[in-house]
Amino acid sequence: MADESARRAVSQIPLLKTHAGPRDRALWPQRLKEEYQSLIRSVEQNKHEDNDWFRLESNPDGTRWTGTCWFIHELLRYEFRLEFDIPVTYPDTAPEVAVPELDGKTAKMYRGGRICLTDHFKPLWARNAPRFGLAHLMALGLAPWLAVEIPDLISKGHVVHRERPREEAQ
Amino acid sequence: MATVEELKLRVRELENELIKCKQQQHNCAVEDAHSQALYRPKIDKMSAEVVDSNPYSRLMALKRMGIVDDYEKIRTFTVAVVGVGGVGSVTAEMLTRCGIGKLLLFDYDKVELANMNRLFFQPHQAGLSKVEAAEHTLRNINPDVSFETHNYNITTMDNFTHFMDRISHGGLEEGKPVDLILSCVDNFEARMAINTACNELGQIWMESGVSENAVSGHIQLIIPGETACFACAPPLVVAANIDEKTLKKDGVCAASLPTTMGVVAGILVQNVLKYLLKFGSVSYYLGYNAMQDFFPTMTMKPNPQCNDRYCRVQQEEYKKKEAEQPKVEVVQEEEEIVHENNEWGIELVSEVTDKELEAASGTVPDLPEGITVAYTIPAEDPVGGEIVEETERSLEDLMAQMKKM
Ligand SMILES: [Zn+2]
């Protein structure tokens, strides 16, 4: 995980200040604002570096998140839906990101399509709680997982490109 | 065009459905035909009489032999089992056979054919919710036990509130709290959620776990304020003395063995019985290293700087209670860590091998041989960097901006 590009990606994501989970009615809205600020900056940065790869949005109280992530492999774009709930113990524990459509296709997943994070992720998250937010989860949790798993799933034929690549489809 | 893989998957799904249909038919037929013969009637009072029709005679013999003072008391207790997987299902079965008063079962998962390397569930139950399937089997084993099942994930907001309510009011006598919660979950988030609930409610619980490499496990008794809670230190692990370099984790998340899970369920329920029925000595932490057959034990004091606010509150309460205790000569249960002799030649193996992470390590708590922490937390902030700035913008505004991107 700790390669140079991941380290750089993380250093560009603003850290969060408010230590509050969804049960903290008074402070959670403030934390949620920080999450959105951090996510917006992260997406802007990714676009700037020509590495735009995910979108996320939440329900109004910020406890359920859905979105998409995509991965370019051999010039083809593969897109996946992603979802997760904010656990009551957030931000001390990270949410479990799920990519439901890949459920059952790889052993690097728990039931329900929850991705299996590396041994490094949990210590890293614990050490940086509560300053890491959802943007960090994307960069340190989901991105490395996709980078390893998707090419493998494509090579095994478990993930097949649905249409022609976007550029041609235009 | 469906791929071969998709078709295979579909075939499996249909096979499962067929099995379930057959099972339902079978169950109906069986229930109609011999319900009388199959199900024993409820038993009002546990008897020690040794006749082949008495399911409690061998348990009541514990009393005759002087091991347990009052075995019948088991029927007055309520235990909540959170997570009805490889450990939780066996735990629930043992408690059911022991004649526990009431069991509350929590799990959001379904039975899968991929679980069949574990004990308890059977292939024909695939697709059913674990709590529902478990209740059905357990009720048949012992109709004297009361059951309450909840098919949900306790870590999300609404479910967590409900979970807190049920553990504080779901006792055998409705409105009373449960006597003990057993954590048999397989993930950190759920353990932390149980820890949060128990610290807030001052609820005594036992934690259990099996490592992802399937060759070690542990149980831990947590008395809020009196012993370390789950958040007091980084997760403890029983060092399995496996060279990390030879441990191949590529391609799989977790392995599991019915043996290790059965052993952990066994030592967990043993501890429960000793705790509830007051016999023997109750373990605060008991590890199981299956590679060397080594069982490290210890007790751990709570951390005064624990991240969990309610843990700190409970610690204060406990201190006050202790101070009020009249100073009789109490044989003070030594809280200090028991150092086992390391006769097995087991070395402390750090689960974190990444040099970079080691460099940023914090101090390792004083632990006996064979037990270590999954990772450490350094005292100072490891990652510096920019912090989100103050903003006048509203949440709705930010949400709308994100949506437009
Ligand atoms: Zn604590």
Enumerate domains of chain A plus CATH numbers.
Answer: 2-169 (3.10.110.10)
Q: Kindly state the tokens that stand for A90.
A: 């957030």
Whether residue B28 lies within 8 A of chain A, CB to CB, comes out as no
Which residue type does A168 have? E
Residue of A nearest to B394 (CA): A33
- The two structure tokens encoding residue A115: 């991705």
Beta carbons of B387 and A57 less than 8 Å apart: no
CA–CA gap between residue B111 and residue B400 (Å, rounded) = 41
pLDDT attached to residue B33 = 56
d(CA B199, CA B201): 6
Contact between A57 and B251 using a beta-carbon 8 Å cutoff:
no
Adjacent-strand bridge partners of B207: B183, B220
The predicted pLDDT at position B30 comes to 56
Task: Considering the candidates B184, B229, B253, B306, report the single residue annotated as catalytic.
Answer: B253
The pair of structure tokens assigned to B183 is 């954590």
Distance to chain B for A75, nearest Cα, Å: 22
Chain B interface, mutation test: which of A30, A48, A64, A93, most B Cβ atoms within 10 Å? A93
Residue numbers in A near B354 (CB within 8 A): 2, 120
Residue among B218, B226, B396, B400 nearest B311 (CA): B226
What is the Cα–Cα distance from B220 to B214, expressed in whole angstroms? 18
> Nearest to residue B227, comparing CAs of B377, B335, B309?
B335
- Give how far B78 is from chain A: nearest CA, Å: 25
Share of chain B above pLDDT 70, in %: 84
* DSSP assignment letter at A138: I
Residue B385 C-alpha to ligand 1 middle, in angstroms?
A: 29
How many A-B residue pairs are in contact by the CB < 8 A criterion?
139
Which of A7, A34, A36 to mutate: most B Cβ within 10 Å?
Answer: A36
Q: Where are the alpha helices (DSSP H) in chain A?
A: 4-11, 28-48, 121-128, 134-137, 143-155, 166-169
**Packing angle between helix B395-404 and helix A28-48, nearest 10 degrees?**
30
Q: What is the pLDDT along chain B (405 residues), one digit of tens a residue?
A: 567 777 877 777 787 777 777 777 766 665 555 555 567 889 988 888 888 888 998 999 899 889 999 999 999 999 999 999 999 999 999 999 999 999 999 999 999 998 899 999 999 999 999 999 999 999 999 999 999 999 999 999 999 999 999 999 999 998 999 999 999 999 999 999 999 999 999 999 999 999 989 999 999 999 999 999 999 998 898 987 776 556 665 667 788 999 999 999 999 999 999 999 999 999 999 999 999 999 999 999 999 999 999 999 999 999 999 999 887 665 555 444 444 443 333 333 334 444 544 555 667 778 888 898 888 887 665 556 789 888 889 999 999 999 998
Among chain A residues, the shortest Cα distance to B396 is held by A60
Comparing CA positions, the residue from B263, B270, B276, B183 lying closest to residue B230 is B183
CA-nearest residue of chain A to B189?
Answer: A93
State the complex-level ipTM.
0.88
Q: B402, A23: Cβ pair inside 8 Å?
A: no
CB atoms within 10 A of CB B177: 18
Residue B347: the pLDDT is 35
Instruction: Tell me what pLDDT residue B194 has.
Output: 98
Tokens of B244: 């990390």
Q: Is B252 on the interface with A (CB under 8 A)?
A: yes
- Cβ distance of A88 and B253 shorter than 8 Å: no
Identify the pLDDT of residue B333.
Answer: 52
Q: List phi, psi (to 5°) of B311.
A: -65, -45
Q: How far is the CA of B199 from the centre of ligand 1 (A)?
A: 8
pLDDT in tens, A86-118: 999 999 999 999 999 998 888 888 878 899 887
HEC letters along B208-241 = EEECCCCCEEEEEEECCCCCCCCCCCCCEEECCC
Determine the pLDDT at residue A99. Answer: 95
Mark the ranges of chain A whose per-residue pLDDT is less than 50: 1-2, 165-170
Give pLDDT, residue B147: 98
Which is catalytic among the residues A116, A126, A147, A148? A116
The verdict on whether B253 is a catalytic residue reads: yes
**What pLDDT, on the 0 to 100 scale, is given for residue B301?**
94
C-alpha closest to that of B204 among B216, B222, B178 = B222
